[in-house]
């Protein structure tokens, strides 16, 4: 399991550790790991051209000390000082190792007078900052750390834009400068990293889009922090495998779980077929379809093992493709019954904030969640964690907010994020597959939070298997679910 902590939690853990180790130990641990990671990213150190973008504070210090290590191993390292409060000891370490210190302005022609910076060792640059960046193999973002606010100051933004213009990859130190670390939001201009090197623990912005996309791959370096329970988690393959409901020798179709499907309509019969395919790709022992006779015939034609008609079930999946046949009173009856429910698509219209729906897993996309909360879709997409949590609290349901990083928020405040999806999964009917699969997991006995976590992971894994980096359909994702499960369980 990967855990993401808040800035406050990280700061407290750092303070506790710093009180018990010699001064500077944490920065040296971070700098050592950062230097190794940058060298690995470059494929070697000797002769590499490295430009450090240095702001004030310890984030810049980490980058400067890492730059000194790279310089001692033969890299050509130049630090561009963006603040008059750059880390003095780190700057001296870089200069002593043979690195250069230059100021950031102007962006063409010689740099400004070195007296503009607090570090007297900064020299006038014989080459413009723009030329330095143009010829660099990597730019290291040491502008602001986890305590920074969203956005970049004009001087920093100008230099970052140079790297983007020249196509030079940026390695971010801890987090990309300019993102909101605790929410994953990106309301202002920010760094877009090819790689992020973080220390101690993941931060929430590493998991939650849109900031997660700005991080690129994230490499975690252990610096010995003693951390409390995390605000946000991302389950990994071994975690999902432990949760998956595997049948045993005494299992039968009823003990494995019976799922009721109230999906599809004469308007959208395909949704019923697709959702049923998703359900059968899960651990459930039996599926009952409840809906129009004509749709039931289409479902049985595709899946003759389906039972049509009312009967005892252990869970429901409701809503995909109901269209004009949506029966809100009937759905609300089921929400108030004892069986857990997956509520998708049109079925979400039956949600209200007046009852206890703790055993409900709602699976909206951003547009559907926006309607539930009466906000713009763009607002939800920009603030995914905030609105998933808000909906979970308001409606007392577990919310699975679909997207490139799927956010699963429960009413008690737990949050999990799934990050293994392929962009090819953005295809018609994929949500119907997910609803059926999550319903199958609920019927097999998982909680809404665990069903959403396992379902999102397997759904994405199946899409990766089906796509092979090319287009897929919802039915091909459903067809790949058994293979994804075999991989999961070690088969």
pLDDT digits (tens, 9 = 90+) for 44-88: 999 999 999 999 889 999 999 999 999 999 999 999 999 888 999
Q: From the annotation, which residues make up the binding site for K(+)? A: 59, 141, 177
The pLDDT tens digits of the residues spanning 286-302 come to 999 999 999 999 999 99
Q: Can you say which residues are annotated as belonging to the binding site for (6S)-NADPHX?
A: 58-62, 145-151, 174, 271, 321, 365, 432
Question: In this prediction, what percent of the chain has a pLDDT beyond 90?
Answer: 88
Query: Which of 255, 248, 258 minimizes the C-alpha distance to 443?
Result: 258
Angle formed at CA 192 by CA 190 and CA 194, multiple of 5 degrees: 155
Q: What is the pLDDT of residues 408-446, one digit of tens each?
A: 999 999 999 999 999 999 999 999 999 999 999 999 999
Mean pLDDT of the chain: 93
- pLDDT reading at 110 higher than 50: no
Binding-site positions = 58-62, 141, 145-151, 174, 177, 271, 321, 365, 402-406, 431-432
Q: 167 and 139 in contact (C-beta within 8 Å)?
A: no
78 contact partners, CB below 8 Å, separation of at least 6: 50, 51, 52, 99, 100, 101, 102, 125, 132
Task: Provide the pLDDT for residue 122.
Answer: 53
Geometric angle at alpha carbon 478, from 461 and 440, rounded to 5° = 90
pLDDT band at 491 (very low <50, low <70, confident <90, very high): low
List, for residues 324-371, the tens digit of each pLDDT value: 999 999 999 999 999 999 999 999 999 987 767 779 999 999 999 999
Rounded average pLDDT over 381-397: 96
Predicted local distance difference test score (pLDDT) of residue 113: 35
pLDDT at 250: 86
Q: How far apart are CA 449 and CA 246, in angstroms?
A: 18
CA–CA gap between residue 288 and residue 20 (Å, rounded): 61
Residue 46 token pair: 């000797």
| Positions at the binding site for AMP | 402-406, 431
Residue pointed to by tokens 């070195």? 114
Summarize pLDDT for 237-256 with one digit per residue, the tens: 999 999 999 998 888 898 89
Asked whether residue 265 carries a pLDDT value surpassing 70, the answer given is yes
Domains of the chain by start residue, with CATH: 2-234 (3.40.50.10260), 237-488 (3.40.1190.20)
Q: Can you give the pLDDT at residue 468?
A: 81
> What is the SS3 assignment for 188?
coil
Q: What pLDDT, on the 0 to 100 scale, is given for residue 416?
A: 98
The reported pLDDT for the residue numbered 107 is 45
C-alpha 196/C-alpha 174 separation (Å) is 6
Tokens 């009173």 identify what position? 329
């Amino acid at each position: 399991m990967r855990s993401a902590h808040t800035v406050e939690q990280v700061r407290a853990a750092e303070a506790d550790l710093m009180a018990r180790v010699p001064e500077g130990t944490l920065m040296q641990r971070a700098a050592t790991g950062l230097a190794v990671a940058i060298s690995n990213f470059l494929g070697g150190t000797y002769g590499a051209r490295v430009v450090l973008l240095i702001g004030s504070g310890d984030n810049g210090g980490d980058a400067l000390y890492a730059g000194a290590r790279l310089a001692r191993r033969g890299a050509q390292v130049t630090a561009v000082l963006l603040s008059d409060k750059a880390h003095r000891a780190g700057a001296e370490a870089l200069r002593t190792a043979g690195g250069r210190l230059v100021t950031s302005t102007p962006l063409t022609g010689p740099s400004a007078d070195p007296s503009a910076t607090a570090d007297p060792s900064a020299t006038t640059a014989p080459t413009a900052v723009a030329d330095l960046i143009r010829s660099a193999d990597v730019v290291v973002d040491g502008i602001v750390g986890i305590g920074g606010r969203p956005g970049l100051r004009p001087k920093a933004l100008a230099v970052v834009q140079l790297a983007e213009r020249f196509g030079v990859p940026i390695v971010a130190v801890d987090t990309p400068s300019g993102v909101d670390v605790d929410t994953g939001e990106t309301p202002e201009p920010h760094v877009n990293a090819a790689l992020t090197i973080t220390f101690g623990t993941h931060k929430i912005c590493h998991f939650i889009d849109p900031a997660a996309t700005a991080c690129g791959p994230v490499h975690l370096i252990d610096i010995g922090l003693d951390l409390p329970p995390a605000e946000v988690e991302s389950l990994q393959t071994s975690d999902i495998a432990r949760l998956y409901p595997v049948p045993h020798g005494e299992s039968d179709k009823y003990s494995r779980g019976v799922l009721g499907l109230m999906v599809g309509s004469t308007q959208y019969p395909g949704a019923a077929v697709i959702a049923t395919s998703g359900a059968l790709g899960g651990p459930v022992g039996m599926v009952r379809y409840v809906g129009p006779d004509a749709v039931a015939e289409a479902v049985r034609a595709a899946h003759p093992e389906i039972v049509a008609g009312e009967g005892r079930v252990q869970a429901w999946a409701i809503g995909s493709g109901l269209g004009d046949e949506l029966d809100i009173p009937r759905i609300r009856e089921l929400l108030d019954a004892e069986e857990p429910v997956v509520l998708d698509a049109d079925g979400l219209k039956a949600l209200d904030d007046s009852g206890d729906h703790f055993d409900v897993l709602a699976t909206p996309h951003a547009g559907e969640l926006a309607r539930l909360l009466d906000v713009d879709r763009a607002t939800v997409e920009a603030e995914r964690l905030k609105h998933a949590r808000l909906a979970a609290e308001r409606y007392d349901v577990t919310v699975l907010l679909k997207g490139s990083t799927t956010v699963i928020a429960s009413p008690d405040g737990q949050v999990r994020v799934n990050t293994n999806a392929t962009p090819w999964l953005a295809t018609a009917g994929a949500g119907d597959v997910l609803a059926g699969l999550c319903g199958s997991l609920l019927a097999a006995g998982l909680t809404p939070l665990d069903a959403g976590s396992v379902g999102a992971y397997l759904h994405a894994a199946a899409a990766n298997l089906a796509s092979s980096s090319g287009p897929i359909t919802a039915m091909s994702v459903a067809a790949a679910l058994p293979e994804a499960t075999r991989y999961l369980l070690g088969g």
